[in-house]
Each structure stands twice: as C-alpha cells, then as structure tokens.
Amino acid sequence: FVAFREDMLRELMTSIYTSMKAADPQCQLGIQVGRTHDGPMVTQRGTPGIHYWAQPYEWIISDPQPQKRTDNAGYIVDFIRAGDKIAGVEQTTYESYADDPAAFWEFTWQVWQHGAPLMLIANCAPHADEQGIHISRKSAEQIDQVAKFTRPKTAMFVSKWELYAWHGGQRWLDLRTAYNQLTDGGKRVIDVVDGDIIRNIPGLLDHYDTIVVPYADIIDEHEKAALDT
C-alpha cells in the first residue's frame, strides 16, 4: 500500500513540476511536507519518501514540531540536504516561541548551521502580531549566517521501509536518538541518507569514510547490497 501511494504521489508531483517548468523554465519549485521522520503520521504523510516522490523539486521544506524539543533541526536539514535539495524549515512562531523561547532560538540557529537557507515564520496568533513581526525580523537578520560546507564524510543510513513498518511504534524516536548521539545533539553536521538518496546520486556511498546504520530491521535488498559493497 505505501509503495503504491508513493508511486501515485510521484506521478502527481512530477506532472505538476513538468507543467510549471513548461510555463516558466527559470522557476525554482519546492514542496512543503510534514516532519520528515514523523512516527505518529508517517504512513499518512509519506514524508520519509520525499526523495522518491518529490525527487524533481529543487526545494523541500519541512514543518516540524520544535515545541518541548520534540524535533532536532539538524536531523531534518541533514536529511533534506543530503539528497542534493535546498532545505527549508517552518516554525509555528507564537506557540513555539511562547512555550520555550530558548528552544525556539536553538532550533532556528541549528537550521542555519546545518546549511538550510530558509527559515519560515508562520501562524502568528492575531493577538501576537507585534511579537511575531519582531521575531520574524530577528530571524531574517540571521540569513547571512547560513553555514556553507562540503558534503560531510560521515553518514547515517535510515530505512524508510522500517519507518513505515514501525508505524505507531517508537523506531522513529530510536533513530532520532541515534542521530543525537552521533552528532552531540545536532552540533556536528553529517548526512542522513536513505535508499532513495543512494539511488538518486550514483556513487554517493563511496564518498563517506563512515556510514552508521543504527537499525535496519526492514531494508530494501538493493539498499542492503549498496551498503554491503
């Protein structure tokens, strides 16, 4: 079912991309998705498959949940960027800022430090317009501080099929914990790759000195062969 859904999404997204490019060959196109490794809604959103069904798009923008520190900005950006996509992240400003200002700024700063040039500020409550504008301006002033670097020499492999199969389970949290341990809570920059990225970028795995596979209970045979080589 999930594979069929991804195939239909790919057909739809490719047709939209092709039509838009035909109208304006110079335009850059992006797609916004939910949390890239969202456990509670992973099968409904299909976000672990973005490097398959959204492959033609130049930009991929994720809408995470930084409240209560439930997402790691580095994990999100490293996954999008590793597939040779331009990464963006959206935060729901007033709720996340009011809940924990320190977490809000830590998350925002980490987005830039992992190489994402876009930090969207969204959904300010009507009574918080003044605060929202202030936060948006401060965020915009930081854009010139986006980190630039060559592809890291360390990668972590994530199997999207494992995430789909563990829908409703805790494997997505296990993988995020593994990322946090590997990167000291996102302070180090690595690539987070899956089978779609490996297929889209021939010879990619040869670049890395280290490829960490925290879990691979369910893995595509072609992905396993590539990792074993």
Q: What are the pLDDT digits (tens) for 119-150?
A: 877 665 554 555 555 555 555 556 667 888 88
Q: What is the pLDDT of residue 130?
A: 53
Q: Which residues contact 53 (CB under 8 A, 6 or more apart)?
A: 6, 7, 9, 10, 13, 46
Low-confidence ranges of the chain (pLDDT < 50): 127
| Residue entry with tokens 């990322």 | 179
Q: Half-sphere exposure of residue 35, counting CA atoms within 13 Å on the CB side? A: 20
Q: What is the pLDDT of residue 89?
A: 87
Q: What is the pLDDT of residue 21?
A: 96
Q: What is the pLDDT of residue 148?
A: 83
Q: What is the pLDDT of residue 124?
A: 55
Q: What is the pLDDT of residue 134?
A: 52
| Residue entry with tokens 């949390």 | 35
- Reading the block at residue 135, the tokens are 């936060």
What pairs with residue 61 in β-bridges? Answer: 32, 88
pTM of the model: 0.89
Q: What is the pLDDT of residue 160?
A: 92
Q: What is the pLDDT of residue 149?
A: 80
Q: What is the pLDDT of residue 94?
A: 58
Q: What is the pLDDT of residue 1?
A: 78
